[in-house]
């Protein structure tokens, strides 16, 4: 019985190790270059931020405008660089779409 209590107490010990912060996100080469260009051209960066803010004001719906800050814009570009065209189609393609090119009917 004593052994069981010791095991339970050991399992419930308080670990005061601080939680590690999430590592900085790895960007694609395209976004890394975009960030470098923006950091080197503060005027262009300010225009991009202004454009993103205006777009968020005009269309706040995140389904159709997911990038409403500069960081979200970088993430959005990263996501798009990694996607294949058929993974991001907004509308259902006709059943014969791609059949002549790929022999597929989906």
User: What is the Cα–Cα distance from 46 to 20, expressed in whole angstroms?
Assistant: 32
pLDDT of the chain, 106 residues: tens digit per residue: 555 444 555 555 555 555 555 566 799 999 999 999 999 999 999 999 999 999 999 999 988 899 999 999 999 999 989 888 777 666 665 566 555 555 555 5
- Predicted TM-score of the model (pTM): 0.60
C-alpha–C-alpha distance, residues 83 and 15, integer Å: 41
Cα 46 vs. chain centroid, distance in angstroms? 22
Mention every residue, 6+ apart, whose C-beta is less than 8 A from residue 53. Answer: 68
pLDDT score at 84: 81
Alpha-carbon span 76 to 66, nearest angstrom: 7
């Amino acid at each position: 019985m004593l052994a069981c209590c010791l095991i339970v107490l050991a399992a419930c010990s308080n670990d005061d190790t601080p939680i590690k912060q999430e590592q900085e996100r790895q960007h694609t080469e395209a976004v890394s270059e975009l960030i470098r260009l923006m950091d080197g051209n503060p005027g262009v960066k300010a225009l991009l931020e202004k454009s993103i803010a205006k777009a968020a004001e005009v269309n706040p719906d995140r389904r159709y405008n997911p990038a409403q800050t500069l960081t979200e814009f970088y993430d959005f570009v990263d996501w798009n660089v990694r996607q294949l065209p058929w993974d991001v189609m907004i509308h259902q393609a006709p059943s014969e779409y791609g059949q002549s090119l790929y022999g597929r009917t989906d």
